[in-house]
Amino acid sequence: MIKRMIIMIVGVVLIVGGILGFKFMMASGTKKFLSTMGAPPQTVSTMEAASTDWQQALDAVGTVRAVNGADLSAEVAGIVQTLSFDSGADVDKDSVLVQLRGDDDIAKLQALQAQAKLAQVTLDRDQKQLKAQAVSQATVDNDIATLNSAKAQVDAQQALNDKKTIRAPFAGHLGIRQVDVGQYLNPGSTIVSLQQLDPIYIDFNMPEQALAQVAEGQKVAAHIDALPNTSFDGEVTAVNSRVDEATRNVQVRASFKNPDHKLLPGMFAHVNITVGEPQKFVTLPQTAITYNPYGNTVYLVTGPDDKPVAQQTFVTTGQQRGDQVAILTGVKEGDTVITSGQLKLRNGSPLIINNEIQPKNDANPKPVDK
C-alpha cells in the first residue's frame, strides 16, 4: 500500500515537472524568436531645434470702451417738435439734436421777464424818492427783495426751457435714433446713443502677480474676433488704484487710435502686453511636446544616419506663442527633435524619417477663410 502511494506521488511530481519544463522552454523560445524579429520602425517627422528671439508677453481678454459714451435722454417730459440729426452721423459738442415743444414755457418765461422789469422800474423810482426822503428805507429793501425774487424765477424758467433743447454733451458718433417727431417723451427715455470713438479704450484685468510688470506707457497689441486679420497697437494709460478682493485682479486700461471707427464699444478683445527685453529660446511646435503628470517630454533622434532611433528626454517648457512653445531646458540648439508620430515610440525605437508634411509652427497664426 505504501509503495503504491510513493509510486503515485513520484508520478505526479514527474508530470508536473514535465509541464513546467515545457512551459519554460516555450517561453524561452518565444523570447528568442521575438528578439530576433525586432520592433518595426515608426514613421515620424523631425526638425532641427533652433533659437529664436522671444518677446515675453502677458495675455488677457478685455472689452472695448468709449472714452466718452452715453445714451442721451431728456430731463423733462415733452413732445418732440424737431429732430436735428441723422442716425449714424458725427456731431460736434453742443450741437442741437432734439427740440421739445415748449410754447407754454416760452410764454411763462416772457411773463416772468415782464415782472422782473417792473420790479426793476419800481426799485429805480423808490431809490430816487429815498434820496428826497419821500419813501422809507424799508420800502427800498422790499423792492430789492422783489426784484431778486423775480430774477430768480426768470432764471429757473429759462433753465427749464433750456432742458427742452437736447444738445450733444461732447463730440462723437451717433447711433440709431429711438424717437420720432410728435412722440411724447418721459424723463429718462433714450433718444440716441452718442460715443466718442477716437481714441478708444480697452479695459482688461490682470492678476495681481503681474502688477510689477505692468506700467503706464507699455505697448499693447489687441486682436478682435470680429476683425481676425487686423492688429491694433496702443499703450497702457492707467492701472486701477486697487485690487479686487474677490478675484485678486487689477483693472488696466489701454488707449488705441481708432480713426476708421473699426473698434466699437462692447467688442470682445484679446490683449497682449510686451514685457521686458527680447530673449533667445529654443522653440518647438506644440505637437513635439508630450504632456504628462510626471513631466513633459520630447523625443530626440539619435544613432547613425542609416539607423536612427528615438531617445526620450524630459524638458522644461516656458510660454506659448501661437503654435510654438519655448523650451527652457532639455533640448539644445542643433538637436533633431521628433515633431509628429511619437505616439507609439519608446526609447530605442527604430525610425523612418519623412519630413514631407510638417506640423504648424507659426508664432502668430491667423485663421484661414474658406
Q: CATH for 42-54+278-353?
A: 2.40.420.20
All 3 cell numbers of residue 86?
441723422
Taking a C-beta distance cutoff of 8 angstroms, is the pair 197, 232 a contact?
no
| Side-by-side strand order, sheet with 165-167 | 165-167, 96-100, 78-83, 184-185
Q: What is the mean pLDDT of residues 238-260?
A: 91
Lowest-confidence region among 123-127, 151-155, 219-223, 334-338 = 123-127
Confidence of residue 63 (pLDDT cuts 50, 70, 90): very high
* Domain at 102-163, CATH from 3.30.70, 1.10.287, 1.20.1440, 3.40.50: 1.10.287
- On the question of pLDDT at 10 being above 70, the answer is no
Whether pLDDT at 365 is above 70:
no
Average pLDDT over residues 347-362: 83
Q: pLDDT of 101-112, one tens digit each?
A: 888 878 888 888
Specify the pLDDT at position 6.
Answer: 65
Percent of the chain with pLDDT over 70: 87
Q: Rounded distance, CA 110 to CA 279, Å? A: 76
- Is the pLDDT reported for residue 22 higher than 50? no
In this prediction, residues 335-348 reach a mean pLDDT of 88
Mean pLDDT throughout 345-351? 88
Cite the beta strand spans of the chain per DSSP E. 42-48, 50-54, 57-73, 78-83, 90-91, 96-100, 165-167, 172-174, 184-185, 190-207, 219-224, 227-239, 249-256, 268-274, 279-285, 296-302, 309-321, 324-329, 336-340, 351-353
The DSSP 8-state label assigned to residue 146 in this structure reads: H
Distance CA 170, CA 207 (A): 34
Amino acid 209: pLDDT: 86
Pairing of strands 309-321, 90-91: unpaired
Mean pLDDT of the chain: 83
> For 45-71, what is the mean pLDDT?
87
**Assigned fold of 59-66+199-274:** Elongation Factor Tu (Ef-tu); domain 3 (2.40.30)
Q: Is pLDDT at 263 greater than 60 in this prediction? A: yes
First vs last C-alpha separation in the chain: 93
Neighbouring CB atoms inside 10 A of 185's CB total: 20
- Residues 87-105 have pLDDT tens digits of 988 899 989 999 998 888 7
Task: Write down the pLDDT at residue 200.
Answer: 93
Structural domain spans, the chain: 42-54+278-353, 59-66+199-274, 102-163
Mean pLDDT calculated for residue range 331-349: 88
pLDDT band at 36 (very low <50, low <70, confident <90, very high): very low
CA atoms of 122 and 99, how far apart (whole Å) = 36
pLDDT digits (tens, 9 = 90+) for 230-242: 889 999 999 998 9
pLDDT at residue 161, as a whole number: 85
Residue type at position 259: P
3-state class of 268 per DSSP? strand
Q: So what's the pLDDT on residue 31?
A: 43
For residue range 148-188, list pLDDT tens digits in order. 998 899 888 888 888 888 899 999 999 999 988 988 989 88
**pTM (predicted TM-score):** 0.61
Query: Same topology for domains 59-66+199-274 and 102-163, yes or no?
Result: no
What phi and psi, each to the nearest 5 degrees, are found at residue 122? -65, -40
